Amino acid sequence: MSETHPQRERAATPARRQGPRATPPGPIVPAGSIAGRSLTIVVAIMSFLACLTLGAVTLVRDASLDWQSDIVREITIQVRPVDGIDTDAEAQKATDLAARTPGVASARPLSAWENAQLLEPWLGSGLDMSDLPIPRLIVVELANPDAVDLTALSARLTKEIKGASLDDHRTWTDRLKAMANATVIIGFSILALVFVATVLSVVFATRGAMSSNRDIVSVLHYVGAEAGFIAHEFQRHFLILGLKGGLWGAAGATLMFLMLSFLFGRSIATPEGDQVSALFGRFAIGPTGYVGALGIAILIALMTAITSRLTVFRHLASIE
């Protein structure tokens, strides 16, 4: 041990780069602790679940909007056979009348073959439909549902065409809307619950991870570090941990949706696939879903950082 005082020697020695060190100093908060890794895993899982819920809710909401707009865009005119009246001629008149109505894109009577197709599940194949008093159906596509006066059209049809009635699917649509809205509300409630669970578990996991760092906070405090400096060091570290976990979770959820979308895309021609696509459209979450997932990841990272900051201040208050 040299007996020369370092402070005196310091004055005489110009600052020179000596000694074996050439690497930048290690982080004050250790990068890879077990507690830190556990926190990242908790954050990743919670973010995955939150993103999955958000994706599912977006999917149901988009699908319900699609159903509603599809059904509103199509109405049906039914012409029932009436004794002594040529049903086909009446159906043609109804078609012309509907086609002339403003806001209607097209009107087309279903052919006998299409009628047979519709009835086949109940009546079996090979029947001669012309013998049966089967109503004619006219499919009317609306270009602009708001521009069509359905009440007036219905009144004209009843008045001018024998046996005609208009089915605007309103009862159907209203029920569907109610169901879709209920589904979306339930979805958002679940999303809110998942968010609360995410917030709580992230906060508790962060506090758990911080408890293993209490010694570091104390040492920094005793060597004269400002509270803001200590909080900043931890906040930065935990923001990175949270962001890493959050992005892993969000990426996992996105990947899962892409895979499901791909799988359902492949089975679209099968009856099961048709069922699913009838319910969920293309089974693809839109940009809202992806932006939301990124938002969730960032939000969770911020929560992690803020919790670590608050924990530092609480610990400092307790040891001062």
Partner 1 sequence: MIRFENVGLRYGMGAEVLRDLSFQIAPRSFQFLTGPSGAGKSTLLRLLFLSLRPTRGLISIFDRDVATLPKSDLPALRRRIGVVFQDFRLLDHLTTFENVALPLRVLGREEATYRADVIELLKWVGLGDRVQALPPILSGGEKQRAAIARALIGQPEILLADEPTGNVDPPLAKRLLRLFVELNRLGTSVVIATHDIGLMNQFDARRLVLHEGRLSVYE
Binding site for partner 1 (CB under 8 A): 1-10, 13-21, 24-26, 28, 30, 215-216, 218-220, 222-227, 229, 319-320
- CB-nearer residue toward partner 1: 61 or 309: 309
CB of 61 to partner 1, least distance (A): 48
CB of 50 to partner 1, least distance (A): 32
Please state, in angstroms and as integers, the Cα–Cα distance from residue 273 to each residue in 63, 191, 258, 259, 265, following that order.
Answer: 15, 27, 16, 15, 8
- CB-nearer residue toward partner 1: 82 or 225: 225
Distance from C-alpha of 208 to C-alpha of 304, rounded to nearest angstrom: 11
Distance from C-alpha of 198 to C-alpha of 206, rounded to nearest angstrom: 12
Distance from C-alpha of 295 to C-alpha of 292, rounded to nearest angstrom: 5
CB of 229 to partner 1, least distance (A): 6
- CB-nearer residue toward partner 1: 51 or 230: 230
- CB-nearer residue toward partner 1: 30 or 265: 30
DSSP state string for 124-152: -SS--GGGS-PPEEEEEEES-GGG--HHH
CB of 4 to partner 1, least distance (A): 7
Contact (CB, 8 A) for 168 and 186 = no
Query: Token pair for residue 246?
Result: 């959050």
Give Cα 89 to chain centroid, integer Å.
50
CB of 301 to partner 1, least distance (A): 23
- CB-nearer residue toward partner 1: 156 or 214: 214
Contact (CB, 8 A) for 201 and 39 = no
- CB-nearer residue toward partner 1: 4 or 171: 4
What is the edge-to-edge ordering of all strands in the sheet holding 74-79? 104-109, 136-142, 74-79, 164-167
CB of 313 to partner 1, least distance (A): 11
- CB-nearer residue toward partner 1: 155 or 319: 319
Instruction: Kindly give, in sequence order, each residue whose CB lies less than 8 Å from that of residue 50, ignoring residues fewer than 6 positions away.
Output: 191, 194, 195, 198, 249, 296, 300
CB of 234 to partner 1, least distance (A): 13
